[in-house]
Structure 1
Amino acid sequence: MISLYGGDISNGLENVPVCIEKGLCEEGLQKFQYTPENVQGVGCDVDPSEVTLPGCSCRSASCVPSSCPCLRFGLAYTEGCFLEQREDSGASYSQPVFECDVLCVCGESCQSRVVQSGLQTRLCVFRTENRGWGVVTLEAIRRGRFVCEYAGEVIGFEEARRRQLSQTPEDKNYIIAVQEHGGSQGLGVTFVDPAFMGNVGRFLNHSCHPNLIMMPVRVHSVVPRLALFSSRDIEPGEELTFDYSGGHTEKRVGAGDLQRKVCLCAEQNCTGFLPLDISVLQ
C-alpha cells in the first residue's frame, strides 16, 4: 500500500496533481525539471511548441474524416478512446495520427482533440522494490484511454548517441527513439530524453507484458507527441508500464551489449534484458 504525499511534482503544470509516495518528495528530483510537453533540445531543428501545421475550417462541433483535412488518414479516436489495438503490447493502427489544433475552427469538444487535452488521470510516483521509480494509477482506466505523454527534450541523432555513449552501467537510460515509416519519404526518427526535463511518463517502468502502448500523435507540430494509451482495462492501484521497444525484438549483439541492462519485469514472456536501440551506438 502506497502512502501518498500531498504534493504535486508537476507544480500545477498538469490538469490534475501528480502525487508522490510519502518520503520521496525530494529524493532524486533535485536536478529534474517538470515539463508537461516536449521541449527543444540539442540537435532538434524544430521547436515542438511552435505551431507548424495548418488548421481546418470545419464549423461542425466535431470533425469527420470525409471533410476534415486533419483527419485525412482517418479517425483515430472514438468516444475519447484509441480505435484499433491488439491484445499484445503493440498497436495495429498503422496510419499517422493527427489531431485538430489551435488553428482549427472546430470546437474544443471535437472528437479529434484527445492528447492535447493533457493529463486527466490521477497518477502517483512511487519507489519499486528493485526497479527504481514507478507509476501507479489512483483511478480505473478504461481500455483505449489516453493516459499521459512521454515528454522531455527532443534531441538529434548525434546528441542521442553522445548521451548514450557517456552513460555508465549504473546510469538509467531514458532516451526513447521512435521510428516512423513514411513511404516514399523514408524513415523518420524522433529522440526524446526526459532525464532532466520531462513529465510523469519519465517515471514509467518497462514491462515485456505492459498495460500501455505508445503512439506518436501530431497536434500542432511536425514533431510528434509520444502518447501512451491503455491497452486493457486497468484497476486503481495498478502499476502502469509500457514496452520500451514498442513491441519490436532487437538484435542482441554489437556495441549495445556493453550497456544492456537486465529486465526485472518478472513477466512470463520476459526477454531478459531491457530494450536498447543500438543504432545510435554504431
Structure 2
Amino acid sequence: WLRTFKYAELVGDERVKSMKAKHKSQAEILYQLGYGFRRLHKNAPGGIYECNNKCSCNKQTCSNRVVQNGIIAQLQLFKTVGRGWGVRTLHDLPLGTFISIYSGEIFTSEQADARGKKIGDEYQADLDFFENINNDSDDEEDEDENSEIHSELDNDEDEENKIPSSNIESRSLRSRDLNNKKDRKKSSKSKPNKKDKNSTLNRTLLPDYDGVVYTLDAKLVGNVGRYFNHSCSPNIAVQNVFVDTHDIHFPWIGFFTTKTIRAGTEL
C-alpha cells in the first residue's frame, strides 16, 4: 500500500494532490489509491503494488492481493460476427472487478521485432510502464505551460495573438491501451525526449534503469486476455500491477471493468 502511495506521489497523481489539499490522512489516501474491497475504482498511473511473499499478511484475507489470485469471473470465449474471437461475461460484473491478465512469452524489443516480421506482431504488447509515466509527467508539464500561456493570452485584448484551440496537441495513446506495436512506435518517435525534467522520478523509481523495454507476445502462448477486442466505447481498462517483483521492467498487465457490466456483454 505504501509503495502504491509513494509512486502515485512521484507521478503526480491528481487524487493525491486533491486529497492532500483536503487534509486527508495517509490512511484515507491509501484507501483511495489502491483496491477498495478488492476492486479498482480508478486507474492508478503510478501502478498498483500488491503484497507478495515478502509480506507477513494473510494470503487468504489480504485485500491487497487481487491479480495474483487469478481469474474469478466466469468468462466465455465466443465467435463474433466479423471480428474473430471475443470474450463475454456470464454474470454481472461490478465496477472495478478484476477480469484477467494479459500473458504471453517475454522478449526484448529486438527479439520481438524480429519475431514480428516472421509471424506477425498483432498480439505484442510492450512492458513500457516506466516510459509511459515519464511521458505522462511531461504531458502534465506541457499542459501546465499551455494553460499559463492561454491565461496570459486570454487577458490580452489583442485577439490576433490568441492561439486557436485546433493547435492544441492531443495526448497520444500508448501501450496501456494495448494498441498495435507499430502504432506505439510511431507515437513514441513523435515525442522528443526531455532531459532532467524527471530526474527525481528516474532516480527514485529506477536508479539503475538500463533503458531496456521488454515485450509480451501472446501469438503462440497466451491466455484469454489476447481475445479481448478493441472498442470505441470500452468497458474494461488496463492497469499495471506489480506482484512477484517490484522490478519496473516487468509489470503484470491487468484488465479491470470501468463500469457495471451486465451478463452476456462482450468485454
Query: Shorter-normalised TM-score: what interval?
Result: 0.5 to 0.7
Query: Equivalents in 1 of 2:62, 2:212: separation in Å?
Result: 29
SS in 1 for 2:114: helix
Q: Is the 8 A contact 2:4 2:34 kept in 1?
A: no
CA distance in 2, matches of 1:130, 1:190: 32
Extract unaligned runs of 5+ from structure 1.
1-63, 85-90, 241-282
- Helix, strand or coil: the match of 1:206? coil
Contact kept, 8 Å, 1:140 with 1:236, in 2: the verdict is yes
Percent identity over paired residues: 32
> Which residue of structure 2 lines up, in the alignment, with residue 107 of structure 1?
58
2:219 paired with 1:204? no
For residues 214 and 89 of structure 2, the distance between their equivalents in structure 1, rounded to whole angstroms, comes to 27
Instruction: Give the equivalent residue in structure 2 for 1:76.
Output: 34
Equivalent residue for 2:115?
163
Matched AA of 1:173: E
Deviation at 1:189, TM superposition (A): 3.5
More helix by share: 2
Report the CA distance between 1:72 and its aligned residue. Answer: 4.4
Task: Name the structure, 1 or 2, with higher relative contact order (CA <8 Å, separation 6+).
Answer: 2
Task: Judge which range, 209-218 or 187-196, deviates more.
Answer: 187-196
CA RMSD of aligned residues (A): 2.2
Question: Which residue number in structure 1 is paired with residue 128 of structure 2?
Answer: 179
Aligned partners of 1:142 and 1:72: how far apart in 2? 28
Alignment match of 1:194 (pick from 218, 223, 229): 218
Could you tell me which residue of structure 2 aligns to residue 95 of structure 1?
Answer: 46
1:177-231: per-residue Cα shift (whole Å, max 9, x none)? Answer: 2422363247674411111111111111111221110111010123211000001
| 1:43-62 equivalences in 2 (<5 Å) | none
Q: Which runs of 5+ in 2 are unaligned?
A: 8-29, 135-200
Give, in angstroms, the shift of residue 113 of structure 1: 0.6
Equivalent position to 2:254, from 200, 223, 227:
227
Give me the TM-score of the superposition, normalised by structure 2. Answer: 0.56
Letter in 1 for 2:240: P
Q: Distance in 2 between matches of 1:104 and 1:97?
A: 15
Q: Secondary structure at the match of 1:195?
A: coil
CA distance change for structure 1 residues 206 and 70 in 2, over 3 Å: closer, same or farther? closer
Structure 1 length normalisation: TM-score?
0.53
- 8 Å CA contact 2:242–2:252 kept in 1: the answer is yes
Displacement of 1:165 after TM fit? 2.3
Aligned to 1:52: none
Residues 81-134 of structure 1 show CA distances to partners (whole Å, capped at 9, x for unaligned) of 1142xxxxxx4x222211001231101211211101110001011111111110
Instruction: Name the count of aligned residue pairs.
Output: 164
> Which residue type is aligned with residue 78 of structure 1?
G
Answering whether residue 150 of structure 2 is matched by residue 123 of structure 1, we say no
Moved segments of 4+, more than 3 Å: 69-75, 185-190
User: For residue 99 of structure 2, what is the amino acid of its counterpart?
Assistant: V
Structure 1 residue identity aligned to 2:35:
Y
Superimposed CA distance per residue, residues 149-188 of structure 1 (whole angstroms, 9 cap, x where no aligned partner) = 1111121101111122234xxx671111242236324767
**Do 2:41 and 2:258's aligned partners in 1 also have CA atoms closer than 8 Å?**
no
Structure 1 residues 134 and 216, CA gap change in structure 2 (3 angstroms): same
- The 1:82/1:177 distance shift into structure 2, 3 A limit, reads same
For residues 201 and 100 of structure 1, what CA distance do their matches in structure 2 show?
23
**Is the 8 Å Cα contact of residues 177 and 190 (structure 1) preserved in structure 2?**
yes
Contact 1:216 1:227 in 2 (8 A): yes
Distance 1:140 1:190 in 2: 35
Of the candidates 231, 234, 237, which is equivalent to residue 213 of structure 1? 237
Q: Distance in 2 between matches of 1:190 and 1:119?
A: 24
Q: Any idea what SS the aligned residue of 2:110 has?
A: helix
Q: 2:261, 2:88 → 1: CA distance?
A: 10
Letter of the 1:145 partner, please give it: T
Amino acid at match of 1:149: I
Q: Which amino acid aligns with 2:226?
A: R
Residue aligned with 2:221, SS: strand
Q: Which has the larger radius of gyration?
A: 2
- Once residues 219 and 70 of structure 1 are traced to their aligned partners in structure 2, the CA distance between those partners, rounded to angstroms, is 12
